[in-house]
C-alpha cells in the first residue's frame, strides 16, 4: 500500500467516473439522434457541429431552472432520493474490468478499480439498492403519481432481479468464479459466454431493460399514465440527476452485458497481433467500449421500436416466463457440466 499504488487507484477511479459521466452526457444526445433518425428526422444539430454542444446546453438549462420543492414534501428525503440514485448508479463501475493491465517500470497496473472475488454479488447488491433512490424520491414527493411510479419501480425491479440473478447463476456455474476479471479472462479471444448461454443472455438483457426502467418496461415513469412517475415533482438539477442516472445505468448495464456475455476486452485474433502487451491492453479497452456503445445503441433501438408493456403483462413476463426459463437454463447448464465432468 505505497503512495504510488494509492495514486494509481485514485487516477483510475477518477478517470472511470469522468468517462461514465461523459458517456452518459453524450448518451442523451445519442438518444435524441437515434430517435430522430429512426423517425426519419435528423435530431438536434444546432448547438455546435452535429449538435455536440447540446448536452452542455441541456445541462445548463437544468441548472438555471427554478428549484421547486412541494410544500408537503419531506425535505431531507426529497433531496436524498436523487443523490442516492446518482451515487448508486456510479458505484457499480468499480468492479468492472475496463481493460487488461499496463506494465510500467516492472509494476503491473490492472484497469479495474477493485478486483474483489465476489464481483458479481457486489453488482447485484448495488442493483438492489438502486430501487431505494426511486422509492425515496417517489415517497418524499407526497404526490400520488410519484407514489404509484415508485411502487411500480419497486415491484418491477424486485421481480426482474430474481430472473436476472438466475441467469447469472448459470454463468457462475460455468466459469466457477464470482470475480468479473477472472470471468473475462476465461472468455479469451472469441470464447465468449454468449455461445454457451444464449438463453441466459436473452433473459439477462430483458431483465437489464427492466432494471434500468427503460422502454418497453418504463412503467415507473410512463408519461401517458403517470405524468413523470417518481420524478413528477422534481425540477432543476434534481430532475437532472434522475434523468442522468438513467443514462449512467444504461452505460453500466451495457458494460455488464459486454463483460458477462461478450468477452469484455477480449477480441478475436488478439494473440496473433504483433504488438506489445500495453498496446494490446489499449486496443482491448477500445474494443470493450465499442461493445458497450453498441449495447447503449441497442437500448435506444429497443426504446424507439417497442411499445410499453401493460403492468400485468410486465409481471406475467417476469414471474411466469423469465423466471421459469432461467431455472430451466440453470438445469440445462448443470446437466451439461455434469456430463462433461463424467466424460
Partner 1 sequence: MTVKPNTSSLSGRSKIVSNKKMTFAEKIYLPAIFGGFAITISHFFGKKATIQYPEETRSRSEIYRGKHVLKRDDEGRERCTACGLCALSCPAEAITMIAAERTDDELNLYREEKYASIYEINMLRCIFCGLCEEACPKEAIFLTNEIVPSDYHRGDLIYGKDVLVEPVDKRVDISHRQTPEVLEFKKDKTQTHNL
Given the rule CB under 8 A, which residues bind partner 1?
34, 37-42, 301-302, 304-306
Q: Which residues contact 182 (CB under 8 A, 6 or more apart)?
A: 175
Between 41 and 277, CB nearer to partner 1:
41
Within its chain, how far is the Cα of 167 from the centroid? 16
Between 191 and 313, CB nearer to partner 1:
313
Report the 10 Å Cβ neighbour count for 251.
26
- Least distance to partner 1 from the beta carbon of 191, Å? 26
Residue 168, C-alpha cell as written in the block = 447469472
- Least distance to partner 1 from the beta carbon of 210, Å? 15
Between 14 and 39, CB nearer to partner 1:
39
- Least distance to partner 1 from the beta carbon of 304, Å? 6
- Least distance to partner 1 from the beta carbon of 6, Å? 46
CA dist 196 and 199 (Å) reads: 9
**By the 8 A CB rule, do 259 and 180 touch?**
yes
- Ramachandran area for residue 176 (φ above 0: left; ψ -120 to 50: alpha; else beta): left
CA dist 243 and 58 (Å) reads: 12
Between 44 and 284, CB nearer to partner 1:
44
From first CA to last CA, the distance across the chain in angstroms is: 46
- Least distance to partner 1 from the beta carbon of 319, Å? 16
- Least distance to partner 1 from the beta carbon of 66, Å? 23
Residue position matching grid coordinates 410512463: 222
**By the 8 A CB rule, do 95 and 124 touch?**
no
Between 11 and 306, CB nearer to partner 1:
306
- Least distance to partner 1 from the beta carbon of 302, Å? 8
**By the 8 A CB rule, do 100 and 265 touch?**
yes
Between 78 and 217, CB nearer to partner 1:
217
**By the 8 A CB rule, do 211 and 130 touch?**
yes
CA dist 343 and 341 (Å) reads: 6
Q: Where are the alpha helices (DSSP H) in 92-179?
A: 119-140, 144-175
Between 107 and 305, CB nearer to partner 1:
305
Angle between helices 236-261 and 3-38 (to 10 degrees): 100
Residue-wise DSSP of 66-94: -----TTS-HHHHHHHHHHHHHHHHHGGG
Between 124 and 294, CB nearer to partner 1:
294
- Least distance to partner 1 from the beta carbon of 190, Å? 24
**By the 8 A CB rule, do 94 and 20 touch?**
no
Residue 23, C-alpha cell as written in the block = 458517456
CA dist 292 and 219 (Å) reads: 25
Between 187 and 254, CB nearer to partner 1:
254
- Least distance to partner 1 from the beta carbon of 313, Å? 10
Amino acid at each position: 500500500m505505497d503512495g504510488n499504488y494509492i495514486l494509481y487507484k485514485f487516477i483510475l477511479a477518477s478517470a472511470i467516473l469522468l468517462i461514465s459521466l461523459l458517456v452518459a452526457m453524450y448518451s442523451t444526445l445519442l438518444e435524441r439522434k437515434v430517435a430522430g433518425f429512426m423517425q426519419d428526422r435528423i435530431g438536434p444539430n444546432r448547438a455546435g457541429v452535429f449538435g455536440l454542444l447540446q448536452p452542455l446546453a441541456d445541462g445548463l438549462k437544468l441548472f438555471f431552472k427554478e428549484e421547486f420543492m412541494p410544500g408537503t414534501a419531506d425535505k431531507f428525503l426529497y433531496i436524498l432520493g436523487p443523490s442516492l440514485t446518482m451515487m448508486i448508479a456510479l458505484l457499480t463501475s468499480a468492479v468492472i474490468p475496463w481493460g487488461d493491465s499496463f506494465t510500467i517500470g516492472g509494476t503491473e497496473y490492472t484497469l479495474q478499480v477493485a478486483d474483489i472475488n465476489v464481483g458479481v454479488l457486489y453488482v447485484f447488491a448495488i442493483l438492489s439498492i438502486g430501487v431505494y433512490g426511486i422509492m425515496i424520491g417517489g415517497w418524499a414527493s407526497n404526490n400520488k403519481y410519484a407514489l404509484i411510479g415508485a411502487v411500480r419501480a419497486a415491484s418491477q425491479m424486485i421481480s426482474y432481479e430474481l430472473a436476472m440473478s438466475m441467469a447469472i447463476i448459470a454463468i457462475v456455474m460455468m466459469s466457477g468464479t464470482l470475480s468479473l476479471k477472472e470471468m473475462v479472462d476465461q472468455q479469451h479471444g472469441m470464447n465468449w459466454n454468449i455461445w454457451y448461454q444464449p438463453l441466459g443472455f436473452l433473459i439477462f438483457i430483458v431483465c437489464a431493460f427492466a432494471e434500468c426502467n427503460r422502454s418497453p418496461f418504463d412503467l415507473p415513469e410512463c408519461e401517458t399514465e403517470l405524468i413523470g412517475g417518481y420524478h413528477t415533482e422534481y425540477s432543476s438539477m434534481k430532475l437532472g440527476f434522475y434523468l442522468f442516472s438513467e443514462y449512467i445505468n444504461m452505460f453500466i448495464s451495457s458494460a455488464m452485458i459486454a463483460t458477462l456475455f461478450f468477452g469484455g476486452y477480449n477480441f478475436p485474433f488478439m494473440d496473433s497481433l504483433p504488438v506489445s502487451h500495453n498496446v494490446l491492453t489499449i486496443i482491448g479497452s477500445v474494443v470493450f467500449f465499442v461493445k458497450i456503445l453498441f449495447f447503449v445503441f441497442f437500448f435506444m433501438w429497443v426504446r424507439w421500436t417497442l411499445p410499453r408493456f401493460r403492468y400485468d403483462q410486465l409481471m406475467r413476463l417476469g414471474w411466469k416466463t423469465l423466471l421459469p426459463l432461467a431455472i430451466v437454463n440453470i438445469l440445462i447448464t448443470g446437466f451439461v457440466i455434469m456430463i462433461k465432468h463424467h466424460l
